[in-house]
Amino acid sequence: MNPGVERYETAEGARIYRIPMQLFPELEGFAHLIITPAFVALYDVGSGFGDAGEQLDAGLRQVRDQFGEHVDWEDISCVLLSHGHIDHFGGLPFVRSRCQAPVYIHALDRRVLTRYEERLALVARRLRAFLMEAGVPGEEAEGIMALYMLNKGLFTSQEVDGTYEDLPSEVRARLRFLHVPGHCPGQVVVLVDDILLSADHVLEHTSPHQSPERLSLYTGLGHYFESLSRLQVFASKVRLTLGGHEGPIHDLDRHIHSLFAMHGERMRDILGMAEQPLTIYEIAGRLFPITEGYHRLLALEEAAAHVEFLYLHGFLRIENLADLERDDARPLEYTRTEVPGTPLEAVAQLAGVPCRESSRTVD
């Protein structure tokens, strides 16, 4: 992990400090401290796992000692949570032990924090049904469920002070917020003059993980594509993009096109496989042949998100419909249909913004 805080300045003089943390043993990421004459905002708080809280605290000290900013915990005006994934909000109890700043999150992710146990039980129920429908063998499905629940009990429900609509007027006047569902229902990116804080919506190297909407409303590729197109409208105004993980992005427009192209290629790969009936489990095994542990669940969800989009737009059909009428526990088997157009043309029609094909991909 890069041990140092990085400093960025916007065209209009706001300072952004990028504070690195080890969020989980195999996951690094950042919180971003935004300093303006009118307020100081902390965008994301890390996972709260291991030493992440202490690393956030050390980063704030470095902002003072190395960069000369007269800012401490009590100077933070508000805490902005980008979305309801634990590597971005799990550090909230630590932060609240240091400061009294009000906490804001998008309305669609508010219940993730305020009704954490309820949501966990609901998602676990949906996930178990999804694994059966996807064709995951019983013993492997139980192992995946155990991995999913691992460490989930480290966080308990937390109250928040409001949604983004409730932010103080000086914050709303200075920052531009864009709701970009897909990766998460309540994902919000922040435009600070000419610098975009993109959380997990776009990342330098990794295509952000996608899940099927059947697991959580306002996720799924359809919402993600619409959100990418919505963000693309602002790309010419963005000089630099700072994600919640990985390095900066210097050409947002090109990067968004590369994401569309990557997903288009993945959907073409699935259609190529689906000349014969395949379950989501089988498709995931071909798309991501070398996956272990929690990455196996991520592979299944990623494959399912693409299958869901293709099915909704008529590129796939259910082959074993007659079997399902006799046994509703049977996994779904998909085959391709012969329809005009390509998946990316469906994306362009859905989003209302042209999505050009590209050979450049993001892995």
CATH of the domain at 53: 3.60.15.10
247 domain residue, yes or no: yes
Nearest to residue 93, comparing CAs of 159, 164, 138, 28? 159
Q: In this structure, what DSSP letter does residue 280 have?
A: H
CATH number at residue 311: 1.10.10
pLDDT at position 3 is 67
User: What does the alpha-carbon distance between residue 255 and residue 222 come to, in Å, rounded to a whole number?
Assistant: 18
317 domain residue, yes or no: yes
CB 192 within 8 A of CB 10: yes
Confidence of residue 33 (pLDDT cuts 50, 70, 90): very high
What contacts 332, CB < 8 A, 6 or more positions away? Answer: 133, 134, 135, 279, 280, 318, 320, 324
pLDDT at position 105 is 99
Stretch 190-219: mean pLDDT:
97
pLDDT at position 350 is 63
Q: Which two tokens stand for residue 198?
A: 């993109």
187 shares a domain with 217: yes
313 domain residue, yes or no: yes
Q: Which of 260, 285, 315 is the last residue of a domain?
A: 260
135 domain residue, yes or no: no
pLDDT at position 297 is 95
pLDDT at position 323 is 85
Q: Is the pLDDT of residue 363 over 60?
A: no
User: What does the alpha-carbon distance between residue 81 and residue 164 come to, in Å, rounded to a whole number?
Assistant: 9
Instruction: Give, for 7, the enclosing helix (H) or strand (E).
Output: strand 6-9
Q: Which of 230, 260, 290 is the last residue of a domain?
A: 260
286 shares a domain with 243: no
CB 147 within 8 A of CB 141: no
48 shares a domain with 176: yes
Most confident of 144-158, 263-277, 330-344: 263-277
pLDDT at position 360 is 28
* Residue ranges making up the domain that contains 57: 6-112+153-260
143 domain residue, yes or no: no
Q: Is the pLDDT of residue 231 over 90?
A: yes
Q: State whether the Cα torsion 66-71-73-78 is positive or negative.
A: negative
Alpha-carbon 278 to chain mean position? 27
Nearest to residue 297, comparing CAs of 88, 184, 153, 149? 149
Q: Which of 244, 260, 276 is the last residue of a domain?
A: 260
299 shares a domain with 242: no
pLDDT at position 355 is 47
| Per-residue model confidence as pLDDT tens digits over 292-314 | 888 999 999 999 999 999 999 99
Domain count, the chain: 2
pLDDT at position 357 is 41
Q: Is the pLDDT of residue 121 over 90?
A: yes
313 shares a domain with 188: no
243 shares a domain with 195: yes
pLDDT at position 358 is 35
162 domain residue, yes or no: yes
Beta strands in 206-252 (DSSP E): 240-243
342 shares a domain with 253: no
118 domain residue, yes or no: no
pLDDT at position 352 is 57
121 domain residue, yes or no: no
Which pTM does this prediction carry?
0.93
Amino acid at position 40, single letter: V
- Three-state SS for 6? strand
21 shares a domain with 102: yes
User: What does the alpha-carbon distance between residue 300 and residue 280 come to, in Å, rounded to a whole number?
Assistant: 7
| Per-residue model confidence as pLDDT tens digits over 41-66 | 999 999 999 999 999 999 999 999 99
93 shares a domain with 63: yes
pLDDT at position 5 is 98
pLDDT, the chain, mean: 93
| Per-residue model confidence as pLDDT tens digits over 333-360 | 999 998 888 887 877 776 555 544 433 2
94 shares a domain with 14: yes
168 shares a domain with 69: yes
204 shares a domain with 292: no
Query: What is the β-pairing status of strands 78-80 and 103-104?
Result: parallel
